[in-house]
Structure 1
Amino acid sequence: MTQGGGLAAAYLEQRPALLRLLSARLGSVSEAEDALQDLWLKIEGGTTGPVEHPAAYLFRMASNLATDRRVAAVRRGTLETAWDAVQPQPTEFPNSERLLLSRDALAHVETRIAAMPERMQAAYRLFRIEQVPQREIATRLGVSVSAVEKLLHRAYLHLHRPGGLDDD
């Protein structure tokens, strides 16, 4: 049986073979070197008791480390892919031309809303901007729900009609 010091001696003796094993399992010599460093730190931690077959114990530890690293790499890849999938694409950011066109369209809509009759404007703003239910709008304006529906219908027509409020 070997104590922690004996495990360290076995590590030094088996290091080239452990490096080959980890390189094969991890697919990279640099990853294998990192895993070997982790293995050495675990040995130096010395929390194990006497080990009957130190070489077999070290190879099992190395194999477990390789498995843990592969699982972590898969998880990391999955998270990175998920993160990339939710990131905005360059086409989603407004360029200066789209920004100016959007501002112009907003100013045009605001002008059309401002030109609406007072009740129609109030009904439209409450429903579309403040998201107040039609029943509550009817109560606030002192009209029926049917009248609110008609006001909203006329507001939509005025907003989408090429001439706007010309024929009111």
Structure 2
Amino acid sequence: MIDPTEDRNVSDPQHETGQGPASVGLVFDVIAAFVRILAGLGLVTLTALVIAEVCSRLLFNTSLHVVEELAGYLVVATTLFGASLAIRQNTLFQVGFLYSALTPRVKQVLSLVYIALSIGICGVLIWHSSLLVMSSFSRSNVAPTAMMTPLWIPQMLLPVGLSVMTLFLFERALLQLGTGGKR
């Protein structure tokens, strides 16, 4: 008989209770709840904007002229915040059939290498996107759209979203180091 728990990743602490992601502490849980709310609100707002644009075009034969711009900003925000939550739940970028064939020690080492590389990449991206935000702010750049949004405002989504990702990567590293790859 096949045991349904047999395929569980023993180096993944979230499977200890089966109740969502493992956590290092309350601070991470609060941040995750806030990010989840922001991502949810972004998705609801995005849906409402698209519905409003469709209705405006169908019923009044006119466009709202801001939906495309706002939708773009919301897609970036929900993508970054959603990826952050996927990192926290350890469900981002994993090839299960290969990973499950490895020993717990190899899984732990690979996880730590993945986390270290990810933190490094996020750090570089945070740095360069912050430079972009500062440049747009100092030059008073605005979007060439009807709203004329100051570009530094939507550009802030990049360093903020990447910082949240990095925070949850640190949490994953603490979990890996604290459990020795087992729970």
TM-score for the superposition, normalised by structure 2: 0.29
* Structure with the larger RCO, 1 or 2 (CA within 8 Å, 6+ apart): 2
Structure ID, larger Rg: 1
